[in-house]
Amino acid sequence: MVGFPLVSGVSFPTKPGEMPLYDGASLLDAASRTEMEWLISSLWDQEKVPLVVVTIPSLSTYEAIHLGVDGYATELFNHWEIGSTAFNRGILLLVSKGDRRARIELGADWGSDHDTQSALIMDSTIIPRFKEGDYGGGLLGGVRGLIGMVKGERLTAPEKIAGGSLSPRFLLLIFGGFFLVVIGLVIVASRARRFNRIDPPKKNEEGVYVPTMWYHNWYQDPDAPQGKNDSGFGSSGGWSGGGSSGGGGATGGW
């Protein structure tokens, strides 16, 4: 649904209410949407940073081809006033499926200090999965990466050798990390079974079976609501309070 047009003729999606997620291109299935809502709500509860995810069929849908995804993300960010004047650290993840372009747009208080981190999230997490047609995985991976950025985690680019392949040291780290993850999951599973934390999958309100085993927040959290999420944004939409774009972020294509 197209929102109210500006004088320039550019228009915007209808502004979401309580949950800052607009999947106009239908890239998320029910389970992915539930998990994403949980991640977005948790970030707001913990850090009071609004992370807004928007997918659109194409820029032409909103008469915005001349702006490109960069310009349209800036206009959308400002039109929805993501963030607040007092804490202007909102984040917008915009995906235009038909144009095969995506943009991470940052609020003014981020400055340009996180452009490199945004680019790494875009290039190493979002775009590779989009190229494989895994839009849900790319969006969820991007959201997790942005949450890590908000919390001060540093994402580093994969180390490469001259021929373009991964270095032996990096490969060793990968295999070592994989081994530790496997051991960790075995321990978690055994403890979960001991305390009856493993339940059969349950149907959510959309009729989709979702897992209820406890992992970490990037899997399904057993304390996360199934189906609809009771977010802490408030009915007035606390994620929108006079914020504006600072022009920082990153763009990618696939």
At residue 39, the pLDDT reads: 96
CA atoms within 13 A on the CB side of 83: 23
* Residue/partner pairs of 63-70 with CB below 8 Å, 24 or more apart: 63/5, 63/9, 63/10, 63/11, 64/10, 64/11, 67/10, 68/101, 69/94, 69/96, 69/99, 69/101, 69/102, 69/103, 69/251, 70/103, 70/251
Phi, psi of 226 (to 5 degrees): -90, 135
At residue 6, the pLDDT reads: 52
pLDDT at 1 > cutoff 50: no
Percent of the chain exceeding pLDDT 90 equals 55
List the one residue out of 73, 118, 87, 105 whose CA is nearest residue 243: 87
Better-predicted residue by pLDDT, 197 or 243: 243
pLDDT in tens, 150-189: 998 877 665 443 344 444 554 555 566 666 666 666 554 5
CA atoms within 13 A on the CB side of 91: 27
